[in-house]
Amino acid sequence: MYKENNLSKNQQIIFDLINKSSEPLKAYTILFNVQKKGIKAPPQVYRALDKLVKTGKIHKIESKNAFVACRSSSCEISKATAFSICESCEMVDEISDAKLTKYLSSFSDKKGTKYKRFNLEFFGLCKKCK
């Protein structure tokens, strides 16, 4: 089963839930929604989430402690993430902008240090809420 799609049973259940959601899901919301599928305890959820984040299937929205499915084909191993977050309706969109990614991926600070990973969160009002 693992080879087929690279996701274990619990990982698949949890990924499916996040993937079909139109909004970021929190760990305990996920837990509540998968209990009927036999996932009963927080560690089961967090372990799946950890793995899904590591493999780039989902991203964590740090400012919300919530998880979204990756919508960008280019981030299998997710090291360059950007999101827009609506401060009114809480909607989150992943931003896939090649120029932005290039700019930030090649950014080096004043000491000349480059970074292998970044996460960017924009805040404002989405189209609907404006």
Partner DNA sequence: TAAAATTTGTTATAATATAACATTATGTAA
Partner DNA sequence: TTACATAATGTTATATTATAACAAATTTTA
- Taking CB under 8 A as the binding criterion, the range among 5-13, 23-31, 44-52, 112-120 that sits at the site for its own copies is 112-120
Closest alpha carbon to 58 in 45, 5, 50: 50
Q: How far is CA 61 from the centre of its chain?
A: 6
Q: Which of residues 16-75 bind DNA (CB under 7 A)?
A: 26-29, 38-44, 46-48, 50-51, 65
Backbone angles phi, psi at 63, to 5 degrees: -75, -10
Q: Which does 78 bind (CB under 5 to 8 A by kind): its own copies, DNA, none?
A: none
Burial of 21 (0-12, 13-18, 19+ CB in 10 A): middle
- Taking CB under 8 A as the binding criterion, the range among 1-9, 42-50, 70-78, 99-107 that sits at the site for its own copies is 99-107
Nearer to DNA, 19 or 96 (CB): 19
